[in-house]
Chains A and B, each alone.
Chain A
Amino acid sequence: MDFQLSPQLELLRKSVREFAEGAITPKVQHMEETDEVPWDLYKEMAKQMYLGILIPKEFGGTGLGNLARMIMLEEIGRVSAAMAMATQIFHMGTASIADFGNDAQKKKYLPLLARGERLGTIAVTEATGGSDPTGIQTTAKLQGDSYVLNGRKCFITHGHVADTITIMAKTGEGPKGFSAFIVEKSFPGFKLGRKERKFGLHGCNTGEIVMENCVVPKENLLGNEGDGLKVSMATISEVGRAGMAGCGLGVINACLEASVKFANQRMLGGKSISQHQAIQWQISDMYMDLEASRLLAYRASWMRDQKMRCDTDMAMAKYYATEAAVRCAKKAVDVHGGYGYMMEYAVQRYYRDSEILIASAGTSEIQRIVMARKALTSFK
C-alpha cells in the first residue's frame, strides 16, 4: 500500500496550481460581479490539455485518468469552485462519449472536445426527474434516419455554453425505455430556455435547454436504444460525483488556508487568535475534513482508473467531501468573525459556492441510499 502520489502527479498538481493562481485568480472577482462566462479561460485550459484528461490519447486527449482529474479539480477549486464545476462538467460531456460511444462517434467528437473546439455537458434532469431519472418525460421518436426529441431539461450546468450535449430521452417504457443521444446545439429544434440566477458559482451557468422537434441523426444514439439509464447513471455516479468531490476538496483547501492566514494575523487579547484553543479546534476539524475527503476521493478515483467498480466509493467520497466543504466554509466564516460576512473576504464566496455541491449529482440522501444498498448486502 502506497499513499504517495507519483512524481508525475505531483508535477501535475504543481503545474495546475500555477495555472489556477496565475490565470484563474485574476478573473475570479470579475466572474463574481458579472456572472459572465470566462470563455478566454476555457480556451486557455483547452490549450493546457485540461479538457481531455479523461479522453484516451488515440482520440486526442491525455488519458491521464481519474486520479489526475481529481487533483486537477482540487487545485482549480481551491481558487474558484465555479471554474472547477465548469471543468468537471466539460469532462462529463467527454466521458459519456469516451465510455459509451462507438468508434465513429469517438473519432468525430472526442478530438474536438479534447482541444476545446467544442465544449460538452450532459443533460438528464427535468422538472419531473433527476435523482429519479425514470421520471423524465423528454421523448425521442425514430422517424426515418433521425430521432425527433421533444422535452425540456432544467438545471443543466453550462447547458447554454456547451456545443455538444449528451441528452437522455424516453424511447420506450420501463427502465430499458431510455436512450442517450449526442446532441449538437446547431441541430434543428434545439433551443435555450431560461438562465438561472444562483447565489453562488457565479460565472458558471445553469439553465434550461428545450427540444422542440429537435432532429438528431440516428448515428448519434449513444450505445443501443435502451442504454440511456446505463449511460447517464455511470457518467453521473462515477464522473459527476467525482467532480463534486473534487470541487469540494478545492473549497476545503481554500477555507483552511484562508482561516490559517486570518487566524495568524488577527490579534485578540494580545495574541493572534490562532493561539486561542477555540480557533485551533475549528482549524483542526477543517484539517481532518481535508485529509479524510482526500483519502476517500483519491481512492475512489484510483479505483476507477483500475477499472474497479467504484459507484459506492464515489458516493462516499462525494457525500463526505461536499458536506465537509459546507461545514468548513461555515467554520471559515466563523473564524473570520464579522469580516467573514464581508464581500472583501473570499470565505463568503466559499460558503455560497459549496452548498450547490450537495445538491448536484445526487443529494447526500441519494449517496446514503447507494451506500446503504452496498452495506446491507456486504455486512449481513
Chain B
Amino acid sequence: MNIMVCVKPAPDPKRWDSIQLDPVTKALRREGIPSVLGPLDKRALEEGLRLKEKHGGKVAAMAMAPPSARDNLVEALAMGADEAYLLSDRAFAGSDTWATSLVLSRGIQKAGKFDLVICGEWSLDGSTGHVGAQLAEFLEIPNVGRVVAVEIVEGESLRARSMVELGDRILDTSLPALITVTRETNTPRFTSLLGVIEAETKPCVSWSAADLGIRPEEVGFRGSPTQTGDIFMPEMKRKAEMLRGEPEGMITEILHKIRQAIG
C-alpha cells in the first residue's frame, strides 16, 4: 500500500501576531516567522503511517513550498514517512488552490504509483479546504472529504467514515483514491529520538517547475483563476456605552443597537 501525504507548511500560529500585510501587493509578509506542519498535516501523516503499519508499503510526504520547508519535510520523515518530495520554484509563488493542486498532481504523478493520497481537510493558514478535492480532480481519482475513520477492504478498496453536518456516512470507493482528514481522525504520534536519527538518512527530493514539466504561466499569479480582491486587518475597537432607565426599556434599546450593528 503506497501512500502519499500532502502537507502544507504554514507560519507558526504562535507567531501570527508578527505577520504583516503588504499594503500594495496584499501578500502576507512572513519573513523571520518559522513554518510548521499544521495539526491536520500531522493527522494526515498519522493516518498514512497507521495504514502502512497495518498493510505494509510506504508513506511519502510532499509539499509545494519555499526551500526552507525542507525542515518541515524532514520533520515528516522523523515522524515516520519513508521519503519526501519538496516542489519548490519561484514560479509557484502566488499560486491559488487550483494552481497548487496542479503542481501537487504533477509531483505525485512523477513520484510514482500511489494507492492512496491523504491531505488535511484544510491548511493551517489559508483554510480554504479546496486543495484535496481539486487535487483528486487533477489526478482523476475519487475523493472522500472530512474522513474520520478509514479501512482498507481486502486490499483493494477503501471504506471511509465521513463527517456530514448532523452525523456521518460510510462511503466505499475503489483505489487509488484521495481522502482528506479532520481533527477527529486520530491523535498524531510524538516523534521519537529514533525517528530524529533516521530522518537524516531518508531521501528528501526537491523538484522545480521544469522537473515537473510545468510552464511558468500555468502556475503562480498568472496561472491562478482566483485573484485576491482585498485583504485587511479587521479593526478591533471596544466602546462602552452606559444605558440608564428601567430594565425593560434598556433591553429594547440593547436589541435595537445589536440589530443596527449587524445591519
Contacts and interface: CB of A to CB of B under 8 A. Distances in A.
B190 A12 contact: no
Most buried by A among B191, B192, B196: B196
Contact of A18 (B74, B190, B199, B200): B190
Interface in A1-55: 7-8, 10-12, 14-15, 18-19, 22-23, 44, 47-50, 53
Given A62-B197, A64-B197, A11 B74 contact: yes
B190 A8 contact: no
Interface residues of A, number: 20
Given A8-B197, A11-B199, A64-B197, A48 B192 contact: yes
Interface in B65-92: 71, 74-75, 78
A280 B190 CA distance: 36
Interface string A140-162: 00000000000000000000000
Q: Which of A11, A64, A68 has the most CB of B within 10 A?
A: A11
B193 A7 contact: no
A8 B196 contact: yes
Given A8-B200, A11-B199, A49 B75 contact: no
Query: Which secondary structure characterizes the binding site on chain B?
Result: helix
B262 interface: no
B129 interface: no
A interface majority secondary structure: helix
B94 interface: no
A248 to B, nearest CB: 22
Nearest to B191: A15
A23 B190 contact: yes
A50 B192 CA distance: 8
Contact of B193 (A14, A22, A62): A62
B74 A7 contact: yes
Contact of B78 (A11, A53, A62, A68): A11
A11 B192 contact: no
A48 B74 contact: no
Contacts of A22: 190
B253 to A, nearest CB: 30
A50 B190 CA distance: 12
A64 to B, nearest CB: 6
Given A8-B200, A11-B199, A48 B193 contact: yes
Interface string B47-79: 000000000000000000000000100110010
A43 to B, nearest CB: 13
A50 B191 contact: no
Nearest to A63: B197
17 contacts: A7-B71, A7-B200, A8-B196, A11-B71, A11-B199, A12-B193, A12-B196, A14-B75, A15-B196, A18-B190, A18-B191, A22-B190, A44-B190, A49-B192, A49-B193, A50-B193, A62-B194
Given A14-B75, A62-B193, 11 more contacts: A11-B71, A11-B74, A11-B75, A11-B199, A12-B196, A15-B190, A15-B193, A19-B190, A44-B190, A48-B191, A49-B193
Interface of B: 71, 74-75, 78, 190-197, 199-200
The 5 closest A-B pairs by CB, nearest first: A15-B191, A49-B193, A48-B192, A19-B190, A62-B193
